[in-house]
Structure formats: C-alpha cells, structure tokens
C-alpha cells in the first residue's frame, strides 16, 4: 500500500509540474501572439510557477487567468480552469495541445500595444500560502464574450483547458 501511495504522490507532483509549465508556456505564447512583451511574466515566472505547482498538487487551484487591461474593463481574459480526477493509477499519459491554441490565436483581434496584464488565480477551499502571491479580485468579465479553445494540457490526475473572453464587437 505504501508503494501505491508513493507512486500516486509522485505522479500527482509530475502532473502539477507538467500543467504549470504548459499554462505558463501558453500564456507566454498568447502574449507574443498579441504583440505584448513578456517582461512581467518572465520576471515573475518562478513565483507564478511555484504557486501553480503547489496549488495543483494539493488540488486547491480552481483556475488561473491571464487578464489583459483594467480590472473594471478588461480587453481580454484567458481563463484556464483546472479539472481534477483521482485515478488510483500510478502511470498515465501527459499531453500538451499548444498547436490548437496557436491556430486560434491567429484569429483573435489584437489588444492595444503596451496593454497591462496580470496573472490571477482562484481556489477551491483552503490552500497553502505561497510566497510572492497576494490577495486580489478578478477582473469583471460580465461584458465579455467567451470562446472555448479546448484542452491545453493533461496528466493522470488533472487537466487544463482554456477559454478566451473578449469585448463584444
């Protein structure tokens, strides 16, 4: 029994690391596609990655968002909800679907040059405190239209899909 628990914990850690890397890589590609610099993301990569990995591993991360523009009237939001599953199996497939996101990005309208952006998360229940993260509220998306982009990554214990929200034409 302790062997399967150890395997499960190791697989869950691998899934958390895989999803965190895929999410941050996707956000970096989105910023490049929109013509925005990634200095904020690059500067905070380790802190963001630490938070995402910690919270995915513990199962508390509900979603992570890349918000572009102001909180009260964002230009665009890329929302990545995390779906968890308990398989009880110590092995599984790790998948990344970056090509689909790249094709979709070619169809989206650009945002104003120099637009500010930030990474925001929400949690399910209690979660570990992670150094460098502070409490905030998410941008108001009530006036935005959404477009599901589909899966960006998955592992044996969790998966991540992405939805694009933007201003209505």
Q: Tell me, letter by letter, the H, E, C secondary structure of 145-166.
A: EEEEEEEEEECCCEEEEEEEEE
Q: What is the tens place of the pLDDT at every residue in 71-117? A: 988 999 999 999 987 655 544 444 556 666 666 676 666 788 889 99
Q: Where are the beta strands (DSSP E) in the chain?
A: 61-69, 74-84, 95-96, 117-123, 144-154, 158-167
- The pLDDT score that the predictor gives to residue 77 is 95
CATH number of 2-167: 3.30.900.10
Residues of the chain with pLDDT under 50: 1-8, 90-94
The full set of domain ranges for the chain reads: 2-167
- The pLDDT score that the predictor gives to residue 14 is 84
pTM (predicted TM-score): 0.84
């Amino acid at each position: 029994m302790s062997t399967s628990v150890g395997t499960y914990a190791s697989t869950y850690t691998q899934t958390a690391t895989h999803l965190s890397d895929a999410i941050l890589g996707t956000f970096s590609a989105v910023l490049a596609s929109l013509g925005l610099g990634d200095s904020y993301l690059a500067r905070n990569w380790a802190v963001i990655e630490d938070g995402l990995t910690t919270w995915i591993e513990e199962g508390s991360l509900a979603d992570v968002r890349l918000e572009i523009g102001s909180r009260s009237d964002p230009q665009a939001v890329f929302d990545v909800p995390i779906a968890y599953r308990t398989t009880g199996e110590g092995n599984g497939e790790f998948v990344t679907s970056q090509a689909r996101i790249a094709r979709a990005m070619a169809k989206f309208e650009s945002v104003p040059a120099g637009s500010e952006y930030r990474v925001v998360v929400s949690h399910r229940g209690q979660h570990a405190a992670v150094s460098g993260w502070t409490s905030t509220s998410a941008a108001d998306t009530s006036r935005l239209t959404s477009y599901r982009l589909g899966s960006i990554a998955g592992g044996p214990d969790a998966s991540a899909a992405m939805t694009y929200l933007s201003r209505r034409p």
